[in-house]
Amino acid sequence: MLDIRALRQDGEAIKAALAKRGYSLDLDAFSALDAKRKQADVRSQDLQAERKKASKQVGQLIQSGMNVDEAKAQVAETLKTLDAELDQEVAKAKAIHDEITEFLMGVPNVPQDSVPEGADEDDNIEVSTWGTPKSFDFEPKDHVDVGEALKGGALDFENAAKLSGTRFAVMSGGVARLHRALVDFMLDIHSSEHGYEEVYVPYLVGPEALRGTGQLPKFEEDLFKMQGERELYLIPTAEVPVTNLVAGDILEADTLPRRFTCHTPCFRSEAGSHGRDTRGLIRQHQFEKVELVQMVRPEESDEALEQLTGHAEAILQKLDLPYRKVILCGGDLGFSSTKTYDLEVWLPSQQKYREISSCSNFRDYQARRMQARWRNPETGKPELVHTLNGSGLAVGRTLVAILENYQNADGSVTVPEALRPYMRGLERLQ
């Protein structure tokens, strides 16, 4: 959520910055709400002052010669009238404050100056590439054909559809093992080499957690909501529960930065994506990710984004998967992000790079919604932390990349060397 003080002072500048992402900020609507808020607050303060003054009039009335009981009765009647009006004004002020909060909840984060102009993913800018796409002496298959041809039909979409409908998968045998190996491999690297603390979190969260990271109220249609006594949602990403671990906290300076890595399933309705990537594992309702989350001092968040992105890149490099790094343009930027790098892995069947990780800096946008703060030792006062996260990596898409990049002419799949210790030395899926 944006700083309301910044909106009041630099509204036009913020509106211009938000235009980079194609968002039109209704400053007139905000100013009108803020004026109503100020009027209601001032009236409430005036009534409180009148009430305080009236409560002191009993003694003055008695001194002027009025009977004690009559003086008390007169003041009590005055206080009753003031209390009724004050209750109305307080309720009115609260309603306006809530309306302003809802308005701010719908405003996306301001892009950094380094974010390029552009309308959509076609305008993202390539920053770097790593590795060379493999040349095959046969026509490479896509991951669906590769997986279904492996022993026992190790990648099975037909039975998944029988169980749950489209955009689900059943894995078995070597593919299921490879999928599990990827999770263990990623968690080990991030926790032992990159300094992240591994955490396990609930897969169901309340609406307040989703508001904290920016999925609610704007993106409710993308979520799976549970039916039951409590209002709970299946998590769309581990970002939600892990980032909210510090919601409402004041972190001591010597505990920063906080770095967490977490493996969870993720659940998304994929609203509005009909017809996109309907084949295979690219866009599923249920998939797995190993997430990276950081909470840092404000002055460190820009550098932290570079480091976090590098941690995700390290996984691709250890798996020897060619990829490129792009910076998202304003029009493709996520709602809560102020700057994002996407890592896109090479898929031979498509002859193109496809997203496998998205790494973002949110600055204080999420922290303000969650009231996640740290105590600045120089001032002794609490200030908002900066939050970041990224996929390190999306497990299903990494599996896709391995099946395609490591396929052989006989239909088998070579297991990347880095994963063989997690596969009990197995070198090939037959």
Which residue positions form the known binding site for L-serine? 237-239, 268, 291, 389, 391
Measure the CA–CA gap between 264 and 202, rounded to whole angstroms.
9
Cα atoms in the 13 Å half-sphere on the side-chain side of 242: 28
Q: Is 299 a catalytic residue?
A: no
Q: Are strands 197-198 and 258-267 parallel, antiparallel or unpaired?
A: parallel
Of 44, 397, 404, 412, the active-site residue reads 397
The reply to whether 102 belongs to the active site is: no
**281's tokens:** 């594992």
Q: Three-state DSSP class for 26?
A: coil
* Catalytic residue flag (residue 337): no
By DSSP bridging, strand 224-225 and strand 204-205 are unpaired
What stretch of H or E contains 289? strand 286-296
Binding-site annotation, residues for ATP: 268-270, 355-358
> Is 99 an annotated catalytic residue?
no
Catalytic residue, candidates 148, 300, 355, 383: 355
Residue labelled with tokens 């009041």:
8
Q: Any catalytic annotation for residue 283?
A: yes
Q: Angle of helix 301-318 relative to helix 173-192, nearest 10 degrees?
A: 140
Cis peptide before 116 (omega within 30 of 0): no
Write down the residue that tokens 């809560």 correspond to: 336
Which position among 43, 180, 283, 324 bears the catalytic label? Answer: 283
Taken as a whole, the chain contains a residue count of 430
Take residue 200 and report the two structure tokens written for it: 């396990």
- 64 phi and psi, to 5 degrees? -80, 0
Helix (H, G, I), strand (E, B) or coil at 381: coil
CB contact set of 293 (below 8 Å; sequence gap of 6+): 238, 239, 242, 243, 259, 260, 261, 262, 387, 388, 389
Phi, psi of 415 (to 5 degrees): -80, 125
Which residues contribute to the annotated binding site? 237-239, 268-270, 291, 355-358, 389, 391
Cα end-to-end distance, the chain, whole Å: 51
Question: What one-character-per-residue DSSP string does 81-121 give?
Answer: HHHHHHHHHHHHHHHHHHHHHHHHHTSPPPPPTTSPP-SSG
Angle between helices 68-105 and 4-18 (to 10 degrees): 20
- The residue from 37, 268, 363, 369 that is catalytic is 268
Catalytic annotation, pick one of 337, 358, 360, 412: 358
- Spatial separation of the C-alpha atoms in residues 427 and 107, rounded to whole Å: 50
Residues serving a catalytic function are: 268, 283, 355, 358, 397
